[in-house]
Chains A and B, each alone.
Chain A
């Protein structure tokens, strides 16, 4: 990650680890900003499998997004919308 060699994060068997890492990486001081970290778990994997309709918050993308509060160094997922429909 430090050398920019990794471009996708995966949680394997701990789903919450993705969001956790998105906020840990910018804090690690290795030159990764939050948007860059977020790309590792959204835009990059979406592009890697040819899903061009999602992966970033931009016009004409699916309304898949997550409301996260950074509280006490922990990302709290407060709401999740999938295609504009709230699922969490």
Chain B
């Protein structure tokens, strides 16, 4: 069947001025464009206030559009309704376009079948024929024949309203080119509408079967349902807007997730979000955070469930005002069995899960987290055992990484997330990043070792047996020793070194290292070799 539109709308704009509120201007429709073809059912979708009713009333000529064009195929020609003479609008309404409110409005105590037949009678159709068609239409709606003589209001409710709607649709039977935009009676109830749109099951007794098949098809059989989403402008006003190079009291207008206007001053719009003078700053872009690892291992040795961990991390990130985040995962560590290494695969999987099912990593309010992109580069630590399932780009064994371009057009992405394996991924930034994770985790070079007199030999000294230590096998004792949390990093480092140099790891080296650190660096404010290692102490 032909799909030439019979109704075309372009650039339609409509705003209201509320004189009672200081001539408040409400821009309701902005640049609406749509086209409807025969046999098509277009559903307007949008929250309250999006302008659905305004659009319908503008199409029907109840509201006068400010600008734009509404063209309807009427009398085998295009008729422009914006700015049309009232008599033209009336003629279009009488023969081409109908309108049914969501509220059933009929004369009381009139039989349903007569209500449905009324528009055809008004067009001068033969009463018997009009009634015949009305019965046909009611049967298409699956309304039982015994209800036809009853008034629609009490007994049929919305289905009767749908019948009334179909009666208007029936005008198409007399004028195939006619078209109307309307709203079915299902604004508050989606189900009846689908019923109404669905042709009745094949039935030999169908009253309308005398109609030519083509006309039946044109009227009902080929209906297709399509949604038209009314986009709404969001207005944020009375805020202290911080732009690239200025801050001022102003207003931001957003459409379809994009900023369309930033202007000083206040918007006099009832639907605007009042920022109450608060700052409005751009969403922060975080290029390096280890924060996710923390949520996967909230305490040493504890492995938190992946999805819960990612969501908790996301929540924290979003609440910190960060809208784009690059998560850093360690590929390796000086010891192979640290939490961050053990959790690495889970973290990668959770990130991928967030990609597959955006709901997984949503914040309490909808915020699907999509991970843009994964970079690969060899880090200083141990290599990944295997590529992440389904994500060959997470396999750090590949040396060349794709260009750092995130996928675009992912409209739902909340937190653009990037798995960053080492600082090579952002190499080239002009001095942007602090000393990288890679450097921190790299086993110490011989030069470093030389710079810390005593650290090496001390690590090799035999541990003195602590009489209070757990009396078990050597390994158990080892595990029960209380190494201060802040010394753990040093402990692992010391063990790693011994392993590298082929000696047996010395338990308790971390504590020794701490003691030595305090002895040799009394001026260090932290007193903690782990922090110290990150700053000047290590280099001194």
Instruction: Tell me how far the C-beta of A60 lies from the nearest C-beta in chain B, rounded to whole angstroms.
Output: 6
Contacts of B429 in A (CB 8 A): 8, 48
**Which one of A10, A22, A44, A46 lies within 8 Å of B281 (CB-CB)?**
A22
B279 and A70 form a contact (CB under 8 A): yes
Using a Cβ–Cβ cut-off of 8 Å, how many residues does chain B contribute to the interface with A?
Answer: 70
**Cα distance, A41 to B244, chains bound together (Å):** 11
**Cα distance, A63 to B322, chains bound together (Å):** 13
Contacts of B418 in A (CB 8 A): 49
Instruction: Tell me how far the C-beta of A43 lies from the nearest C-beta in chain B, rounded to whole angstroms.
Output: 6
Which one of B17-25, B56-64, B406-414, B481-489 contacts A? B406-414
Using a Cβ–Cβ cut-off of 8 Å, how many residues does chain A contribute to the interface with B?
Answer: 59
B245 and A65 form a contact (CB under 8 A): no
Q: Mark A20-33, 1 if CB is under 8 A from B, else 0.
A: 00100000000001
**Which one of B246, B287, B367 lies within 8 Å of A45 (CB-CB)?**
B287
B353: interface (CB < 8 Å): no
Contacts of B279 in A (CB 8 A): 67-70, 75
B257 and A10 form a contact (CB under 8 A): no
B286 and A11 form a contact (CB under 8 A): yes
Interface residues of B in 221-259 (CB under 8 A from A): 234, 236, 239, 241-247, 252, 254-259
A54 and B289 form a contact (CB under 8 A): no
**Cα distance, A18 to B408, chains bound together (Å):** 25
Max chain A Cβ within 10 angstroms of own Cβ: one of B318, B321, B412? B321
**Cα distance, A42 to B234, chains bound together (Å):** 22
B157: interface (CB < 8 Å): no
Contacts of B283 in A (CB 8 A): 42, 54, 62, 64-66, 80-82
Instruction: Tell me how far the C-beta of B46 lies from the nearest C-beta in chain A, rounded to whole angstroms.
Output: 14
Contacts of A69 in B (CB 8 A): 278-279
B278 and A67 form a contact (CB under 8 A): yes
The residue of chain A having its C-beta at the shortest distance from the C-beta of B319 within the complex is A88
A18 and B320 form a contact (CB under 8 A): yes
A18 and B426 form a contact (CB under 8 A): no
**Which one of A6, A44, A64, A78 lies within 8 Å of B323 (CB-CB)?**
A64
**Which one of B289, B408, B431 lies within 8 Å of A12 (CB-CB)?**
B289
**Cα distance, A50 to B426, chains bound together (Å):** 11
A35 and B242 form a contact (CB under 8 A): yes
**Cα distance, A50 to B255, chains bound together (Å):** 23
- Given the contacts A18-B321, A57-B282, A59-B259, A13 and B290 also touching, CB distance less than 8 Å: yes
**Cα distance, A66 to B280, chains bound together (Å):** 5
Contacts of B309 in A (CB 8 A): none
**Which one of A5, A15, A63 lies within 8 Å of B286 (CB-CB)?**
A15
B47: interface (CB < 8 Å): no
**Which one of B241, B255, B281, B363 lies within 8 Å of A87 (CB-CB)?**
B363
Instruction: Tell me how far the C-beta of A19 lies from the nearest C-beta in chain B, rounded to whole angstroms.
Output: 5
**Which one of A41, A60, A70, A87 lies within 8 Å of B365 (CB-CB)?**
A87
A54 and B290 form a contact (CB under 8 A): no
Contacts of A10 in B (CB 8 A): 286-289, 432-434
Instruction: Tell me how far the C-beta of B376 lies from the nearest C-beta in chain A, rounded to whole angstroms.
Output: 16
**Cα distance, A61 to B418, chains bound together (Å):** 20
Count of A-B contacts with CB under 8 A? 224
- Given the contacts A57-B243, A86-B365, A88-B363, A42 and B284 also touching, CB distance less than 8 Å: yes
B323 and A61 form a contact (CB under 8 A): no
A60 and B321 form a contact (CB under 8 A): no
- Given the contacts A13-B291, A18-B321, A57 and B241 also touching, CB distance less than 8 Å: yes
The residue of chain A having its C-beta at the shortest distance from the C-beta of B246 within the complex is A35
**Cα distance, A87 to B245, chains bound together (Å):** 26
**Cα distance, A87 to B280, chains bound together (Å):** 15
- Given the contacts A43-B282, A45-B432, A69-B279, A50 and B316 also touching, CB distance less than 8 Å: no
**Cα distance, A41 to B286, chains bound together (Å):** 7
**Cα distance, A63 to B233, chains bound together (Å):** 12
Q: Mark B315-330, 1 if CB is under 8 A from A, else 0.
A: 0111111111010000
Instruction: Tell me how far the C-beta of B402 lies from the nearest C-beta in chain A, rounded to whole angstroms.
Output: 12
**Cα distance, A46 to B520, chains bound together (Å):** 43
**Cα distance, A67 to B318, chains bound together (Å):** 12
**Cα distance, A38 to B405, chains bound together (Å):** 23
The residue of chain B having its C-beta at the shortest distance from the C-beta of A33 within the complex is B247
**Cα distance, A58 to B280, chains bound together (Å):** 12
Instruction: Tell me how far the C-beta of B74 lies from the nearest C-beta in chain A, rounded to whole angstroms.
Output: 39
B415: interface (CB < 8 Å): yes
Contacts of B261 in A (CB 8 A): 59
Max chain A Cβ within 10 angstroms of own Cβ: one of B242, B246, B282, B416? B282
Max chain B Cβ within 10 angstroms of own Cβ: one of A35, A45, A57? A57
**Which one of A33, A43, A64, A80 lies within 8 Å of B319 (CB-CB)?**
A80
Contacts of A58 in B (CB 8 A): 243-244, 259, 262
B256 and A84 form a contact (CB under 8 A): yes
- Given the contacts A41-B285, A80-B283, A87-B414, A12 and B262 also touching, CB distance less than 8 Å: no
B430: interface (CB < 8 Å): yes
**Cα distance, A81 to B281, chains bound together (Å):** 11
B275: interface (CB < 8 Å): yes
User: When A and B form their complex, which 7 residue pairs have the shortest distance between CB atoms, in order from nearest?
Assistant: A64-B283, A83-B257, A15-B320, A8-B432, A87-B367, A66-B321, A64-B323
Q: Which residues on A are within 8 Å of B, measured CB to CB?
A: 5-8, 10-16, 18-19, 22, 33-35, 38-39, 41-46, 48-51, 53-70, 75, 77-78, 80-88
26 contacts between A and B (CB under 8 A): A8-B429, A10-B432, A11-B289, A13-B291, A18-B284, A33-B247, A35-B243, A35-B246, A35-B247, A49-B326, A53-B408, A55-B285, A56-B244, A63-B252, A63-B258, A64-B323, A65-B252, A67-B279, A68-B278, A69-B279, A75-B279, A82-B283, A82-B323, A83-B258, A87-B363, A87-B365
